[in-house]
């Protein structure tokens, strides 16, 4: 069976199934289609399936024309029918792994998906988990569910882990151009997974086990989270000292060795960086190992929306206004610049905190025309506002949360009364009417 699957992969006759057609799964499908494979995509969200079948993209950097062409030529088939999970030769799992309210790992999507696969698992299939998780998930959570029906891993089916690596909106690093770390449950599983990904990505990085591949992912994002927490804390210190943290970073990064620039902001966003460190600290606690450094970094980053709101309140106070009743526009809902991905965006928490203080909230984001419903946030239905001169003049405060290139910052500075800038987006602008406060 491994020889048969290997031959199918080599001849590009293997059907690749991808579960979860979001910001990770759909770009991954593109990489495999460009590698010559046919994709059977699964998603429980029927709206996504309907849009894709109609040739419409819901991800900004994937064009509808490409989706339409793939559907028309049957390079991409999509379905919400999990009964078809027996059809693919390889199944790649790209489902969410959020945190619970107590910041423990929520593997319900992974476990549910594993049960659905197990119900249709047939000899010869390769299953690869891509969802971010803690070391041990593939072996301790996925494997028992898949093997419950009597099939043996390494003989009847194959299991591996390959962490998702996606940078939405980055034109230099699409899914196919990012090296892929792959760790198998056993040697045969590892070989088959490596062979499969070699057909779709620029480089495959094999490691000795699923656990090493899982740990690699949490290391990458914990590294970023900790360094961002450092500059976020330094921002608060330097603000109190009357020092511009952005100027400090610009000076420090001229050092050609031993320093990598990280930048402060209103809080962490995206699916991975705000979440991965807590997966690592959770599994460490299970093994009686304290992770005070990582947990402190998480606390610092999680506190930044509160810090932004306090800066807004102080800025309004200096203008002899209260937060209660003030009209406040949030610039940017997406979690990062020039993308349409709102997952874990600090904008939601900032809006909730300001609304709780009685502010009249609106927002503008050219990439997010309608405020999406988020799992942990409760905000009223809103649509993006156009940044006209009259609209800006009517606001008591404009808060730059996401520094999209599409925003006309000169216009904002010229017609706003007060701007609280969390991204240094207004730096370097000529003298403007607005009072600009860095936060």
Q: Catalytic residues, which ones?
A: 272
Measured between alpha carbons, how far is 153 from 149 in angstroms, rounded to an integer?
A: 11
> CB-side exposure of 114: number of CA atoms within 13 Å?
23
Give bridge partners of residue 19 from the DSSP assignment. 42, 93
First to last CA, the chain: 59
Contact (Cβ atoms closer than 8 angstroms) between residue 32 and residue 38: no
Q: What 3-state DSSP class applies to 262?
A: coil
Measured between alpha carbons, how far is 306 from 326 in angstroms, rounded to an integer?
A: 18
Give residue for tokens 């730096």: 427
Residue 154 backbone zone (phi > 0: left; psi -120 to 50: alpha; other: beta): left
Measured between alpha carbons, how far is 104 from 108 in angstroms, rounded to an integer?
A: 12
Q: What 3-state DSSP class applies to 225?
A: helix
Measured between alpha carbons, how far is 373 from 348 in angstroms, rounded to an integer?
A: 10
Q: Using CA atoms in the order 333, 337, 343, 348, what is the torsion angle rounded to 10 degrees?
A: -30
Q: What 3-state DSSP class applies to 340?
A: coil
Measured between alpha carbons, how far is 171 from 431 in angstroms, rounded to an integer?
A: 34
Which residues have CB under 8 Å from 396's CB, separation 6+?
316, 319, 321, 326, 327, 328, 417, 418
Contact (Cβ atoms closer than 8 angstroms) between residue 30 and residue 54: no
Measured between alpha carbons, how far is 297 from 292 in angstroms, rounded to an integer?
A: 9
């Amino acid at each position: 069976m491994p020889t048969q699957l290997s031959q199918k992969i080599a001849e590009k006759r293997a059907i690749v199934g991808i579960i979860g057609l979001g910001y990770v799964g759909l770009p991954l499908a593109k990489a495999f289609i460009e590698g010559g494979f046919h994709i059977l995509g699964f998603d429980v969200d029927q709206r996504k399936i309907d849009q894709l079948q109609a040739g419409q993209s819901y991800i900004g950097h994937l064009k509808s024309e490409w989706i339409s062409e793939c559907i028309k030529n049957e390079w991409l088939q999509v379905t919400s029918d999990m009964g078809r999970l027996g059809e693919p030769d390889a199944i790649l799992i790209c489902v969410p792994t959020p945190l619970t309210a107590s910041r423990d790992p929520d593997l319900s999507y992974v476990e549910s998906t594993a049960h659905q696969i197990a119900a249709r698992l047939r000899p010869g299939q390769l299953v690869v988990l891509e969802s971010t998780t803690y070391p041990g998930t593939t072996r301790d959570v996925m494997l028992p569910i898949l093997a419950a029906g009597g099939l043996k891993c390494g003989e009847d089916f194959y299991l591996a882990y390959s962490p998702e690596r996606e940078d939405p909106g980055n034109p230099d690093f699409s899914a196919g151009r990012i090296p892929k770390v792959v760790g198998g449950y056993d040697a045969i599983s590892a070989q088959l997974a490596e062979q499969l990904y070699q057909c779709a990505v620029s480089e495959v990085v094999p490691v000795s086990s699923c656990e090493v591949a899982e740990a690699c992912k949490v290391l990458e994002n914990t590294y970023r989270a900790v360094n961002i927490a450092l500059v976020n804390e330094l921002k608060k210190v330097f603000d109190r000292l009357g020092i511009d943290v952005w100027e400090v970073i610009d000076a420090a990064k001229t050092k050609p060795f031993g320093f990598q620039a990280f930048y402060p902001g209103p809080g962490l966003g995206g699916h991975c960086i705000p979440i991965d460190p807590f997966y690592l600290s959770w599994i460490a606690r299970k093994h009686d190992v304290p992770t005070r450094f990582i947990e402190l970094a998480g606390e610092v980053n999680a506190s930044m929306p509160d810090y932004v709101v306090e800066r807004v309140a102080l800025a309004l106070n200096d203008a002899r206004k209260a937060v209660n009743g003030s009209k406040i526009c949030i610039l940017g809902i997406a979690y990062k610049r020039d993308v349409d991905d709102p997952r874990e965006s600090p904008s939601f928490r900032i809006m909730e905190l300001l609304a709780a203080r009685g502010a009249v909230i609106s927002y503008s984001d050219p990439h997010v025309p309608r405020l999406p419903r988020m799992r942990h946030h409760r905000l009223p239905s809103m649509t993006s506002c156009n940044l006209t001169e009259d609209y800006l003049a009517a606001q008591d405060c404009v808060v730059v949360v996401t520094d999209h290139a599409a925003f006309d910052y000169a216009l904002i500075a010229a017609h706003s009364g007060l701007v609280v800038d969390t991204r240094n987006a207004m730096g370097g602008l000529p003298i403007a009417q607005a009072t600009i406060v860095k936060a």
